[in-house]
Amino acid sequence: MATREDDRPGLRGAAKLVADRARSIVQLEIQLALTEIKQKVAAIGIGVGLLAGAALFLFFMLAFALATIAAAIATAVSTWLALLIVTVALLLIVAALAAIGIVSIRKGTPPLPEQAIAEAKLTLEAVKNGNP
């Protein structure tokens, strides 16, 4: 049997509303954390890929360095000089890829949702202080 007290939003209704809003806030914080982690993992992946590319070019650089030494011994100056120029160019490519890869990995580490944590702290403070 319903009474007039059940028809009014009382303490039970207010508690349900607070619980619903708290649940929504928590869900949004989780979504923010997941998005931030995905971005950082992607940055790490790009950095690892660039470092793998740098390793590949390092292999080619070493191959050309050895070819340069062999050409310098076996042939005239012009041939080894050309091979040396190629070796230096490969070295520059390796250095550039490695530098970009390291920057990308540093940007993504540690893979913690820093923005989400800061936002959760702000939300917690707002709830403690009674701010909507």
pLDDT tens by residue, 12-58: 888 888 888 888 888 888 888 888 888 888 888 888 999 999 999 99
Question: How far, in Å, CA of 14 to CA of 50, rounded?
Answer: 54
Is 31 inside a domain boundary? yes
| H-helix segments, 1-132 | 4-7, 11-74, 77-108, 114-129
Task: Over range 60-66, report the average pLDDT.
Answer: 83
Is 115 inside a domain boundary? yes
Amino acid (1-letter code) at residue 51: L
Amino acid (1-letter code) at residue 45: G
pLDDT tens, 71-99?
Answer: 766 666 677 677 777 778 778 888 999 99
Question: Could you tell me if 61 and 90 are in contact, meaning their C-beta atoms sit under 8 angstroms apart?
Answer: yes
Is 57 inside a domain boundary? yes
Is 1 inside a domain boundary? no
Is 2 inside a domain boundary? no
* Structural domain containing residue 93: 18-122
Task: Over range 7-12, report the average pLDDT.
Answer: 68
Give residue 108's pLDDT.
76
